[in-house]
Each structure stands twice: as C-alpha cells, then as structure tokens.
Amino acid sequence: MLACLSATAAAEVLHVGFGTHKPPYVFEGEPRGLEYELVERAAHNAGFELTAYYAPMERLHLMLRRGEIDAITTTHERSGVVAFYSDVYIHYHNVAVSLASRDYHIERIADLSNHAVSAFQRARLLLGPEFERMAMNNPRYREEALQINRNRLLYSGRTDVVVGDKRIIRYLNREVNDQVDVSQSLDWFEIFPPTPYRVGFRRQQHRLRFDEGLRMLRESGDYQRIERRYLAD
C-alpha cells in the first residue's frame, strides 16, 4: 500500500524550455531567476517536477513542434507556433537604447527604420505588428540568439540601437564590463508597452494544470515575494 501511495504521489516531469542566459529572469544552467522561479513554483503547485532546457528561442520553438519538450516560456499567441497558451505569468519592459553620444531622437517604433537595430530572437513576432513591419522593411535589422551579444554590439558601436528588456541590459553590463566600456552614457527610449508573456504547452491538460498552479502562486503571496526578491537587485 505504501509503495502504491508513493507512486501515486510522484510528480509528473514537465520538460520546459527557457531560452538562453538573461538575468535576472533566467540564469542559464542554474535553478534560479525571476522567470525560472515563477514557472517552477507554479508547475510545482500543479503537481509537476520541472526539468529545464536552455537554448535559443528559435531552437526551442522547433523542439516544441517536434515534441521534444512539453512547453516553452517567454512566448505568446503571436509567436507563430501552434500551442496551448497559459495565462500571463510575467511582463517584460522592453525599450530601445542607444549610446547617448549618437544623439538619436526615437519617439516611436517607426523611427527605428532609420537605424541598425539588434533585438532578441522572435522580437519581430512578439513586439507587435508595427515592430514586425519595421523589422521586415529594415535591411539593417538583426536578431541575436544570445542576449549578451547585444550589450557588446551596443557599447562597441557596432549597432545603432538595441531593443530588449531594460533589466536584462543593465544586468548583463556586469558580464561585459571587461570587454567594452559600459561607463558610456545611454539614451533609453520607452516606445513599447509592457510585453505580456505566457507559457506555450503542447498539451491542453498541462496548460490547464499550470494555470491553476499559477493562480495558487498569486493567491498565496509567493508570486509577489519572488518578484520583490529579484526586482530589488
């Protein structure tokens, strides 16, 4: 009887893709980060044991389509991948940023058309139709698989504008300060609304269970406690 109860209580393993290193949200290869902990705790509440996979987003989307993983984070319905999407579990605050010495004046997304732009993978799909039009029509637009490369490009002057989450850009300065001059002044252009992200699941039943786990996480106050711990950095 005890053996049967133990087997019944065993958590189901959920294979989840998290993308590459993007602190303070995800620390690649480590079980920590704001995004990692929110997803892990919601999954735990739903009876899952989470196994994390770290890879560029394009590769993770391919893995999801092939059934090699059960879910991917940091995505939503405009990602271009057929999936069952969870409730919103996090918002990123994306901005456009350039060296202040360039003296650019960027007031709206369309203004990016005049510049070399480096963004994260699938930004063209995730940041809305206006950004997608700019990306499709700008021959100097590119997407980087590794978030840290955009910091290097920005401070070395090898791109005009970087698009990404402000916290990630600031955090990664700590990891490139021996490679580029991060003391240079920056201009931050708040031209994007907060980006809501969901988890995309291969199976509807997994999505339903995760949403219930996420609801429990919020109602318990644990969501807010995790958020405060990371956003205090």
* CA-closest candidate to residue 153, choices 120, 194, 107: 120
pLDDT at 32: 95
Tokens (6 digits) for 9 = 């209580």
Chain mean position to CA 117: 18
> Got the DSSP string for 95-155?
EEEEEGGG-----SGGGGGGS-EEEETTHHHHS-HHHHHHHHH-TTEEEESSHHHHHHHHH
Average pLDDT, consecutive stretches of 10 residues, N- to C-terminus, the chain (233 residues): 41 95 95 97 98 95 96 93 96 97 97 97 95 98 96 98 96 96 98 97 98 98 95 68
pLDDT at 231: 82
pLDDT at 53: 97
> What distances in angstroms separate CA 37 from CA 71, 159, 194, 210, one per listed residue?
15, 33, 20, 14
> Got the DSSP string for 4-45?
HHHHHHSPEEEEEE--S-BTTTB-TTSS-SHHHHHHHHHHHH
- Residue 205: CA count within 13 A, CB half-sphere: 4
CA–CA dist 60, 145 (Å, integer): 11
What residue ranges define each of the domains in the chain, with the CATH number in brackets? 9-91+195-231 (3.40.190.10), 94-189 (3.40.190.10)
| Axis crossing angle, helix 204-220 with helix 34-45, rounded to the nearest 10 | 110
pLDDT at 81: 86
Q: With the CA atoms of 214, 40, 198 and 143 taken in that order, what torsion angle do they form, in degrees rounded to the nearest 10?
A: 160
pLDDT at 233: 55
Q: State how beta strands 195-201 and 141-144 pair.
A: unpaired
**38 within 8 A of 168, measured Cβ to Cβ:** no
H/E element holding 207? helix 204-220
pLDDT at 11: 84
For the entire predicted model, the pTM comes to 0.90
CA–CA dist 223, 233 (Å, integer): 17
- CA end-to-end distance (rounded Å), the chain: 48
Task: Please calculate the CA angle 24-182-163 and round it to the nearest 5 degrees.
Answer: 60
